[in-house]
Chain A
Amino acid sequence: MNLTRKRTALAALLAGLLVLTGIIHPQADSENNKSFVLDNGLRVFLYEKKTLPLLNFVFAVNMGSKDETEATSGLVHILEHYILFRGTKQHTGDEIARDMRHHGAYFNAHTGRDLSSFEITIPSNHADFALQTLKEILFELELDQEALEEEKQIILEELTQLQDDPFRLATSFLYQNLFPGHPYQRPIYGTREVIEGATVEQLSQFYRGFLVPANSALAVVGDFSISAMEEKIKSVFEGISSEDFTPSRLEQSGPMSKTVEIEREMDVQMAYLAIGLPGPDYNSKDQYALDVLIEIFARGINPMIYHPLSQKRIQVGGVRMGYSAHRYGGAITIALAMEPKHLKRAKRELTKYLKQARKLNFSSDDVFGEDQLYAMDYMESAKNRLRFRGEQARERGLAIATSLARYMLLNEIADRGNYLEHIAEIGTTELRTATGNYLGQKYSVIVTIEPTKKK
C-alpha cells in the first residue's frame, strides 16, 4: 500500500510500472557492500551510503499476486496491510505505529505481482529498533478476525479509489489483459468478493506458507558499518526457522492471442489512452535493448513517440512509457492524455506507428551520405541518458535497497556483467529486432477513457 497517494497528475500515471530493472552484482563484495545468506536461507545485502544519517531497510518476500488463485485474489494484499498495521503477539498495531513515529521512521509496504516488500527508513542511530520491529511484524504476527474485518474496510476504500483515477484504472486494465491465462492477470488489489469474504484461516495459510526466511531477502542501504550491521542482522534473524519450505515455480507468461480493446467513460475533461504490450522478463537479455528503446521513444528532449502525433497535429499532454520486468514476463506500457476530439486519431496513429517502428532510423549510422548530417542520433542520446539516470539513482537510498531486494529474489543469471557495457553493446540491429519483437507485436491491449457523454 502507498500511504501517500501520488498526486502529480501524469507523473503518477504508471508509477507502479515504470520501475526499471534493478541490476546489481551481489557477489562482488567490497569494503562498502557485502552480501551473505544466513543459515535459515535469508538473503542479505548491505550497502554503505553515508551521505545522510539515514538507514533504509527493505525486506522482500517472494509472495505476490502470482501466488493467488481466483478464489484467493487479494489475500496477499490484505496480508501485507495486516502485517504493517495490525500488531503482533507482543504489541498492538497502534503501539508499533507510535513507536515507529517516535523513532522518526517512515514505514510502508507494497504488494506486487512477484513480491511483497516492507520498508523502513529511519535515522541511523535506530538500527536495532528497525530490525527488531521488522522481525516482530513479519515473524510474530497475531491474526485476529475482528482486526481483519476492520482492515478490509480500508482496503475496499482503496479499491474504490482506483476507479476514480483514469491512469491507474487504465493501467489496471492493461495488466488484467496482458497475461492471458497467467496468474499475473489477476489484479494486485484483489477482487471485492474475495476481500469481503476473507478469513483469518485463509490469511494464515499464506502467512505460514510464504513468510519464511528462505523465501525472503533483506537489503540495507545507508549510514552504518558493514560488520556491525551484519552482526545485528545475524543476531535478530538467525533464530527463525525455514523448515518445510518448498519454493514454488510458475510457467512463463505466454504471448497474447488477440488484441483487447477496453472503453470506459468517466467524469473527466481530458481523454486518456493506454496501450500495453508483453515485454521481456527480469532475466531476459532483451531488457537492455528495451531500456534503450524506452529512452528513445519516451524520454529526453525529443521523444520519438511524439512524432506520429505531432505530424497529425495531435497535441498530447505528456507521454509516459515504461517497461516493467517481472519474473515470469514483462509489460511495456504507454499512456497519454489528450483532448477528447483527438482520441480516435491518436489511437489509430500510435498503433500504426508502433507496428512499423522497426523501420525507423535510430542512429546517424542508419543513413548515408549527406543525410547523416541531418539525422538525429537517438541511440547514443538514449545511452547517455541511461548513464545519467544510473548516477541519479545512486542518490536514493530506499530505491537502491528496493532494487537490491528485488535482485536477490528474482535474479537467475549467474553473472549479469556490467549493465552499461551491455547497453554500450546495443547497436541499431539489436534495437530494430527488439522494436519488431516487442513494440511491433500483432496483439496488444488498448484502453481508452473518455469524458462521460452528456445525456
Chain B
Amino acid sequence: MKIIKSNVFFSLAASVTPALLVLLATGPEAIRAQSRNTALKETALENGLRLIYEHDASSQITVVQFFIKGGQRAEPTGKAGLAYLTTRLTLEIPDFTQTQRLMNQATGMYMACQEDCTFITLSCLSENLEESLDLISKIMRKPLMTGIRIDRITKQMEEYLKTEEDDSVNLAHSASMAAFFKDTPYASSVFGTKDSLKAIKKSDITWFYRNFFHAGNMLVVVTTDLEEEDIKGLIDAHYGPFPNGPAPDLPSFTSRPAPAESIFQEKDKEQSLVSAAFVLNIRTRREYTLGFLLDCLLGKGIQSRLWDLRVRQKLAYSVQSRLTHAEQGTLLEAFLETEHSKTEKAHDALRAALSKLYEKGIDGKELEMTKNYAKAQILRDNETKTSRSRTLAFYETVGLGYTFLKDILEEIDSVTLDEINGFIRSGLAPQDCLFVIIGPAEDEQ
C-alpha cells in the first residue's frame, strides 16, 4: 500500500520483529475473546497537538505513533538526510538511568523517514505506558545534539546507504525517484549522500528541530486497550508542554517527464532486475483508491498481471509492483528479477505486459477480482496495532485524512470499470515509462 523509506536499521527495541510466533497460552483463560475495533476518536490538546485514538482490546499493548510533518520535503537543497538525522537525534537516550528504565519497561522505539514526514513509533505493555511516555517525551523535548552523537549517527547513515544500495530493488527505486524528481528533495535517499551529510551543520539540525518538532506540526495516533480518557490525560501531561507553532510551509514541485533513455546500473550479480516506473497523479482519496487498485492489479499476489511473466513465461521467481505515495507525486513500479541471460527478454515481456494493459484495459471480471483482493489486502495490511496506527497517521499526513481507513473499502467497491480504465490510460502511457535495469554489463550476458 505504501513504501516506507526504511530505516529498518535503527531500532532501539525489537520493533522490527520477524514473524513472532511466541504464543503464551497456558489454559482456557489465556486465549480469550477479543472485540472488534471500536470507532476512532479525535481530539486536540491546548497546544494544538492533534490526537487520534483507537481502542483495541485484542492485546495488552499500546502503540503510539508520532508523525512529524516535513520529512525529506522539508530538507533544504544540498542537505539530504537532515530529516532523518534530526529525528534520530531526538531519540538519543541521555544517561544510564534512563536507559535502564526504558530497558525495564521493554519499551520499543522505532523511527523512519518518508518523503513528507518522519515518524516515531513507541510500543510497550500498556501497564508501562505512563512511564514510557514520561521518558520519551523528555528526551524528545530536549534532544541531545552533541557533535559526538551527530558524527556517530552520520556514520551509521552512510553505512545504511551502502546497505540499501547493495539491494537491486532499492537501487532501482532510488534511480527512478532520482530521475523523476531530479532537483527536488524526493530525489535522494532518506539517508542523504556522503556530500550532503558532510554539508549538514549542527545549526541545520537545530533549525529543523525548532521548525518541525512542535505541537502544531505533529500528529499523535494511539492504538490501545486503555480507555480514551486515560490516554488523553497521559498525552496531555507529557506532550502538553511541547511548544505550539504553525505548521511550516513546505515546497511544492512536480515530477519531470520520464527520460527517453532507460537507466542501466552495472552490478555483477547472477540476476538482473528489470523495473518499469511511472509517476501517477494522485491527490484525492478517489485517485489513491485507483492507484491502490492498479498496484494490486499489476503486481500483487497470484494472478496479478505480472504473474504471467512468472508462471507462463518463466522469466522470474519474483515479480512485483509497489506504490510509493507522496504528496508531490506517486511512483508506481513494476519489476522482476531474472537470470541475466534473460534480461532482454524480461525487458520486452514487461514492456508488452504494460502496453497490453494500457491499450486494452481490464474487463469487469478482472475488476471484480482485483477489488476483492484489494479489500482483503487492506484488512491483512492493517491487522496489528502498529500497522493500523501507522496507516491512520500516514493517510492523515499525506492529506487523505485518517478516516480514509474506515472508508477505503467502500471507496474500492464504488470504482467503476470506466474509472479504472481511464486511470490506466492516464497513468501508464508508454512514453511516461522509465525502465531501470540493474545487473551485469551486456557483454557479460
Closest Cβ–Cβ distance, residue A322 to chain B (whole Å)? 7
User: Of all chain B residues, which has the CB nearest A452?
Assistant: B268
Q: Which of these, A20, A102, A166, contacts B372 with CB under 8 Å?
A: A102
Residue B270 interfacial (CB < 8 Å): yes
Query: Can you show 11 pairs from A to B with CB atoms below 8 A apart?
Result: A28-B28, A32-B33, A54-B383, A107-B302, A157-B271, A267-B267, A301-B93, A317-B163, A389-B22, A392-B59, A403-B21
* Contact string against A for B residues 284-303, beta-carbon threshold 8 Å, 1 for contact and 0 otherwise: 00000000000000000111
- The answer for the CA separation of A97 and B35 in the assembled complex, in Å, is 32
Nearest chain A CB to B136 CB, angstrom units = 11
A158 lies within 8 A of chain B by Cβ: yes
Decide yes or no whether A374 CB sits under 8 A from chain B. yes
B375 is an interface residue with CB less than 8 A from chain A: yes
Cross-chain contact B384 with A396 (CB below 8 angstroms): yes
Q: Map CB proximity to A onto B371-414 as digits: 1 under 8 Å, 0 otherwise.
A: 01101110110011110000000000000000000000000000
Residues of the B chain whose Cβ atoms lie less than 8 Å from the Cβ of A378: 103
List A3-53 residues whose CB lies under 8 Å from chain B: 3-5, 7-11, 14-15, 18-25, 28-33, 47-53
Contact B302 A23 (CB under 8 A): no
Report the minimal beta-carbon distance from A317 to chain B, rounded to whole angstroms. 4
> In the complex, what residues of A have CB within 8 A of residue B383's CB?
51-52, 54, 395-397
**For the complex, what is the distance from the CA of A62 to the CA of B427, rounded to whole Å?**
47
Question: Given A104-B376, A337-B163, A394-B58, are A50 and B23 neighbors across the interface (CB < 8 Å)?
Answer: no
Q: Which of A98, A121, A399, A402 contacts B369 (CB 8 A)?
A: A98
Q: A365-399 interface mask toward B, CB cutoff 8 Å, 1 = contact, 0 = none?
A: 00000000010111011001111111111111101
Please provide the chain B residues from 4 to 34 with a CB less than 8 Å away from any CB of chain A in the complex: 6, 8-14, 16-34
A23 near B23 with CB under 8 A, answer yes
Q: Are B156 and A50 in contact (CB under 8 A)?
A: no
Whether A356 sits at the interface, judged by CB under 8 Å, is: no
Task: Find B8's partner among A8, A31, A299 (CB 8 Å cutoff).
Answer: A8
| Bound Cα distance A66, B353 (Å) | 40
6 further contact pairs, Cβ within 8 A, besides A101-B303, A166-B166 = A25-B25, A25-B27, A157-B314, A157-B318, A300-B12, A317-B160
Asked, given contacts A9-B163, A318-B9, A380-B104, whether A393 binds B20 with beta carbons under 8 Å apart, the answer is: yes
Closest residue of B by beta carbon distance from A420: B24
B344 nearest CB across to chain A (Å) = 16
Render B322-357 as a binary contact track against A, CB cut-off 8 A, 1 for contact. Answer: 000000000000000111000000000000000000
| Cβ < 8 Å to B, chain A residues 90-145 | 93-94, 97-98, 100-107, 121-123
| Distance from B274 Cβ to chain A, minimum over Cβ atoms (Å) | 13
B26 touching A395, Cβ below 8 Å: no
On whether A391 and B61 interact (CB within 8 A), knowing A18-B18, A100-B303, the answer reads yes
If the complex has contacts A14-B18, A388-B61, A395-B385, are A106 and B28 also in contact, measured as CB distance less than 8 A?
Answer: no
Q: Chain B 133-172, CB within 8 Å of chain A: the 1/0 string?
A: 0000000000000000000100110011011111111100
Known contacts A150-B314, A402-B19; is-contact A317 B99 (Cβ 8 Å): no
Give Cα A1 to B16, complex, Å: 22
Nearest A residue to B307, CB-CB: A97
The answer on a CB contact under 8 Å between A51 and B56 is yes
Interface residues of A: mostly helix, strand, loop or mixed?
mixed
Please pick, from B22, B60, B168, B268, the residue contacting A20 in the complex, using a CB distance under 8 A: B22
Residues in chain B near residue A18, CB distance under 8 A: 18-19
A54 and B379 within 8 A (CB): yes
B267 CB → nearest A CB, Å: 5
Closest residue of chain B to A374 (Cβ to Cβ) is B96
Q: Which residues of B contact A387 (CB under 8 A)?
A: 24, 106, 125
Which residues in chain A, 411-438, are within 8 Å of chain B measured between CB atoms?
Answer: 417-421
Tell whether, in the assembled complex, residue B156 and residue A317 are in contact, meaning their CB atoms are under 8 Å apart: yes
Q: Are B125 and A388 in contact (CB under 8 A)?
A: yes
Please tell me which one of the listed residues A339, A386, A394 contacts residue B59 in the complex, with CB atoms under 8 A apart.
Answer: A394
Which residues, 273 to 306 on A, are CB-close (under 8 Å) to B? 291, 295, 299-302
The CA-CA distance from A20 to B170 in the complex, in Å, is: 28
Interface footprint category on A: 35 or more
State A338–B31 Cα separation when bound (angstroms).
Answer: 43
**What is the distance, in angstroms, from A11's C-beta to the closest C-beta of chain B?**
4
Q: B124 near A: Cβ within 8 Å? A: yes
B155 proximity list for chain A (CB < 8 A): 315
For B8, what are the chain A residues with a Cβ–Cβ distance below 8 Å?
A: 8-11, 318
Shortest beta-carbon distance from A10 to chain B in Å = 6
Cα-based distance from A402 to B22 in the complex (angstroms): 11
Contact A154–B311 (Cβ < 8 Å): yes
From A30, A33, A421, name the one whose CB has the most chain B CB atoms within 10 angstroms.
Answer: A30
Q: Which residue of B lies closest to A317 (CB)?
A: B159
Set of chain A residues within 8 Å of B23, measured between Cβ atoms: 22-24, 390, 393-394, 400, 403-404, 419
**Least CB distance, A136 to chain B, in whole angstroms:** 16
A259 at the interface (CB under 8 A from B): no
Q: Write out the residue numbers on chain A whose beta carbons fall within 8 Å of the beta carbon of B60.
A: 391
Question: Which residue on A lies nearest to B269, using beta carbons?
Answer: A164
A10 and B9 in contact (CB under 8 A), knowing A121-B380, A390-B22? yes
Q: Which residues of A contact B384 (CB under 8 A)?
A: 392, 395-396
Q: Report whether A51 and B34 are in contact in the complex, using a CB–CB cutoff of 8 Å.
A: yes
Q: Using a CB-CB cutoff of 8 Å, which residues 170-192 of chain B contact chain A?
A: 170
| Inter-chain contact A10/B163, CB cutoff 8 Å | yes
> Which chain B residues in 41-92 approach chain A with CB under 8 Å?
56, 58-61
B219 cross-chain contacts in A, Cβ below 8 A: none
